[in-house]
Amino acid sequence: MRLPSQSLSTLAGALALSATALAAETPLERGAYLVEGPAACGSCHTAPMPGAAPLAGRTLVEPAFTAEVPNITPGSRIADWSDAELVRAIREGIRPDGSVIGPPMPIMLYRHLSDSDVTAMVTYLRTVPAVETKFKASTYPFPLPPAYGPPIDSVADVPREVSVAYGEYLAGPVAHCLECHSLKDGMPDLDGHLGGGGHTWEGPWGVSVAANLTSHEDGLADYSDAEIATMITQGIRPDGSQMHPPMSYRHYAYMTEDDVAALILYLRTLPPIPDGG
Ligand code: HEC
Ligand code: HEC
C-alpha cells in the first residue's frame, strides 16, 4: 500500500472550522473531518502521485493480490446509489447489486462506525469534486466471504471526549490504526497481537515496518505524549527520522488535539507485547 501525497489544503478551512466549532459542527463538516483526517479514505482511494484527483481511485498492488480501488467521487457509479446503499457499502461491504467489497477495505472495523459518523461521511462524499472514470473490477486470487457479518441495524455514537473509549473508537473503526499495527503473518490479529507491529511494506522508499504501539518498552512506553503526537501527525520520531508509507500521517495532521489525546490515552492501555512477540 502506498501513501498519497495529494494536496488536502482546499479542505483546510472546513477542517479548521470543525476543530474549533465542534458543538456547532454540521454533518458535512464532520464527514470532511473524518474522511480527510483520521479515516484517511484517500490513503487507498487516491492515487499516490502529486496532483492526483482526490478519491478518484487507483490500482493498489499488495503482495497477495492487486485491488482496483474504486473512484468514490460523485462522478463514479456511487452517484446512482442512495445514501442508505452507500452506508451499507462502507459499513457492511455489500454493494447495491449484492456483491461484496474485497480487501484491503477495512470492513471488519468499519462495521463499528456509528450511524451519525458513517452518514456524515456519505454527506461529504457527495460534495467532493466529481471525476469521471470507468469502473474496473478487482480480481482476487481467493474467494471473498459472502458477507462480513449479519446486517447492521444501528450503531450508537461513542461520546466524543478525551477518553480511552473514544480513543479506541478512533484507533479501530475510524482510522484502522490497529489493522496495520496488529498484522501477524499478513492477517490482523486483534486478539493475540493487538498493536504488536512487525508487518513490513516495500516500496520506492525502501522497507517500512509497522511499529510496536503497545505499552511495552519496545513499543511506546519510553515516548512522552508530545512525542507520540508528533509521530502520529507529522511522521517524525524524536530522533528526527522521518516515517515512510503507508503510515498516513499526512491525513492525521488534520486531527484535532483532543482526538490525538484520546488516541494516545487508548494506546497507553494496550497490553505490552515485545518486538517479535
Ligand atoms: C486500506 C484501503 C482502503 C481504505 C482505507 C478505504 N477503502 Fe474503500 N475500498 C478499497 C478497495 C480495495 C475497494 C474495492 C474492493 C473490491 O474491488 O472488491 C473499496 C471499495 C469501496 C467502495 C465501493 C465502491 C464501488 O464502486 O464499488 C466504497 C463506497 C468505498 N470503498 C468507500 C470508502 C470510504 C468512504 C473509506 C473511508 C472511510 C474507504 N473506502 C477506505 C480500499 C480501501
Ligand atoms: C496503512 C497502515 C498503517 C495505518 C493505517 C497506521 N499506521 Fe502507524 N505506522 C505504519 C508503518 C508502516 C509505520 C512505520 C513507518 C516507518 O518506519 O517508516 C508506522 C509507524 C507508526 C508510529 C511510530 C512509532 C515508532 O516507535 O516508530 C506510530 C506512533 C504510529 N504508526 C501510530 C499510528 C496510529 C495512532 C494510527 C491511526 C491513527 C496509525 N499508526 C495508522 C503503518 C500504519
In the structure grid, which three cell numbers stand for residue 4, read together?
A: 498519497
Q: What is the pLDDT of residue 19?
A: 52
**Ligand 2, atom 43: closest residue by C-alpha:** 247
Say whether both 129 and 226 belong to one domain. no
Are residues 84 and 45 part of one domain? yes
Report the pLDDT value the prediction gives residue 63, as an integer from 0 to 100. 82
- Could you please report the per-residue DSSP string of 9-31? GGGHHHHHHHHH-GGG--HHHHH
d(C-alpha 237, C-alpha 49), whole Å: 24
The whole-chain average pLDDT of the chain stands at: 91
Angstrom distance (rounded) from CA 122 to CA 230: 30
Q: Is the CB of 177 under 6 A from ligand 2?
A: yes
Final residue of a structural domain among 156, 181, 200: 156
How many domains, in total, are found in the chain? 2
Cα(139) to ligand 1 centroid in Å equals 15
> Do 125 and 187 sit in the same domain of this protein?
no
| Domain CATH number, residue 168 | 1.10.760
> Among residues 124, 156, 188, which one ends one of the domains?
156
Three-state secondary structure call for residue 219: coil
Express as a percent the part of the chain with pLDDT over 70.
91
Instruction: Check whether residue 25 and residue 68 sit in a common domain.
Output: yes
| Mean pLDDT of the region 77-90 | 98
Q: How far is residue 217 CA from its own chain's centroid?
A: 26
pLDDT (tens digit, 9 = 90+) per residue, 154-172?
Answer: 999 999 999 999 999 999 9
Q: Domain check: are 87 and 194 in the same one?
A: no
Does position 18 have pLDDT exceeding 90, yes or no? no
Exposed/middle/buried for residue 31 (C-beta within 10 Å: 0-12, 13-18, 19+) = buried
Q: Are 178 and 195 in contact (CB under 8 A)?
A: yes
The residue from 126, 156, 186 where one domain ends is: 156
- Cβ(122)–Cβ(55) under 8 Å? no
Q: Is the CB of 263 under 6 A from ligand 2?
A: yes
- Alpha carbon of 262 to ligand 1 centroid (Å): 26
CB-count exposure of residue 154 (10 Å: 0-12, 13-18, 19+): exposed
**Residue 212 lies in domain:** 158-277
Atom in ligand 1 nearest the alpha carbon of residue 135: 26
Both 70 and 139 in one domain: the answer is: yes
The residue to mutate among 220, 243, 275, having the most atoms of ligand 2 within 8 angstroms of its beta carbon, is 243
Phi, then psi, of 242 in degrees rounded to 5: -100, 135
d(CA 39, CA 174): 5
DSSP secondary structure, 120-153, as one string: HHHHHHTTSPP----------SSPPPS-SSS---
pLDDT digits (tens, 9 = 90+) for 178-233: 999 999 988 889 999 999 999 999 888 899 999 999 999 999 999 999 999 999 99
- Please indicate, yes or no, whether residues 24 and 76 belong to a single structural domain of this protein: yes
Which stretch of DSSP H or E encloses residue 35?
helix 27-36
Residues 121 and 10 in one domain: yes
Residue 43 has what pLDDT?
95
Q: Which among 110, 1, 106, 9 has a CA at the least distance from the CA of 58?
A: 1
Q: Which residue has a Cα nearest atom 37 of ligand 2?
A: 177
Please work out whether the CB of residue 263 comes within 6 Å of at least one atom of ligand 1. no
Residue predicted with more confidence, 64 or 111: 111
- Residue 15: pLDDT band with limits 50, 70, 90: low
Closest C-alpha to 180, from 274, 46, 40? 40
The answer on 117 and 8 residing in a single domain is: yes
Same structural domain, 115 and 24: yes
Q: What is the mean pLDDT of residues 237-250?
A: 94
Nearest CA, atom 30, ligand 1: 90
Q: What's the CA-to-centroid distance between 1 and ligand 2, angstroms?
A: 13
In terms of domains, do 131 and 207 share one? no
CB within 8 Å of 120: residues ≥ 6 apart: 27, 28, 30, 31, 34
Over residues 99-122, the mean pLDDT reads 97
In a shared domain, residues 93 and 113: yes
Task: Give the per-residue pLDDT at 22.
Answer: 53
Report how far ligand 2's centroid is from the alpha carbon of 247 (Å). Answer: 5
